[in-house]
Amino acid sequence: MCGRYASARKKHELLEEFQVELDGEPDKELGADFNVAPTKNVYAVMSRSSKEDEHPVRQLRIVRWGLVPVWAKDPSIGSRLINARAETLAEKPSFRQAFAKRRCLIPADGYFEWMAVEGEKKKQPYFIHPADGGVLAMAGLYEFWKDRARDDDDPLKWLVTCTVITTDAEDQLGRIHDRMPMMIERDRWADWLDPGLTDTERASRLLVPAEAGRLAAYPVSTDVNNVRNNGPDLIKPLPDEEEAGLF
């Protein structure tokens, strides 16, 4: 699973990187977060049509991590739906509607996974990131949830949430954890975000696991274990492992 990641790029960098046409939250900007955890607000790239224009517009939105299905009685279910397995997207009631109509990209600098240390009870955290230093475009789904207890003019009536799609880890990363976020390469962004693509079989063919060597990993401080800790030190390699830990 993917339960923590880092997202430190500024909004204007993401708008340019993802060729966003509309800043959906022009008056808001998330600060650099090196320890993104479930239920936090995160950036998501999506394409949506408006009432005025049927042409889908690529936009950057702020959503909450942890998908809340439209049928949920309350939003607490989101904390249990932070990940969605690529193998069962079209089958699971929690995800199948969003998979057909509401796919997104979740930008990250990298993500964290923990590996058991032989002979010890503790686990060693690793930071896993694109080897070329580029942005990690994680495949995601988003959903709108309506709080029926609130008035129609209440700005909190609608909650927008997301989940990160996961897949089997490629061989080198599999030694750390058997699952990893599904990446969407740049040449598939437009198709993945296209709301007109509602055929889930075709959408599934866009989910291609990362090639071996596309990502690199190194061990980092256990400070990342505590969600209250934050800052760039969390993604620094351990002093004696800076070179040897990369692969």
pLDDT range class, residue 247, cuts 50, 70, 90: very low
pLDDT at 216: 94
Residue 154 is predicted with a pLDDT of 79
Strand partners, 139: 105
pLDDT of 114: 95
Express each pLDDT in 4-36 by its tens digit. Answer: 999 999 999 999 999 999 999 999 999 999 999
Query: The tokens 């994680």 sit on which residue?
Result: 138
Tokens 């030694």 correspond to 175
Which of these, 53, 40, 46, 56, lies nearest to 24 by C-alpha position? 46
**Cα–Cα distance measured from residue 88 to residue 41, given in angstroms and rounded to the nearest whole number:** 26
pLDDT at 212 over 50: yes
Q: How confident is the model at residue 120 (pLDDT cuts 50, 70, 90)?
A: confident
Contact 170, 212 (CB under 8 A): yes
Encoding tokens for residue 141? 């789904």
Q: How confident is the model at residue 110 (pLDDT cuts 50, 70, 90)?
A: very high
Per-residue pLDDT band for 50 (boundaries 50, 70, 90) equals confident
Q: Active-site residue among 104, 113, 143, 162?
A: 113
CA–CA dist 7, 34 (Å, integer): 6
pLDDT band for position 195 (cuts 50, 70, 90): very high
Active-site position among 2, 104, 143, 162: 2
In this predicted model, what pLDDT tens digit does every residue of 227-239 receive, in sequence order?
999 999 999 999 8
- Residue 90, pLDDT above cutoff 80: yes
Q: What is the pLDDT of residue 241?
A: 46
Is residue 170 annotated as part of the catalytic site, yes or no? no
Residue 119 CB contacts under 8 Å (≥ 6 apart), including other chains: none
Mean pLDDT (whole number) for 85-99: 96
- Contact yes or no for 167/209 (Cβ under 8 A): yes
Mean pLDDT for all residues in the chain: 92
Q: Is 162 a catalytic residue?
A: no
pLDDT at 246 over 70: no
Residue % of the chain over a pLDDT of 90: 79
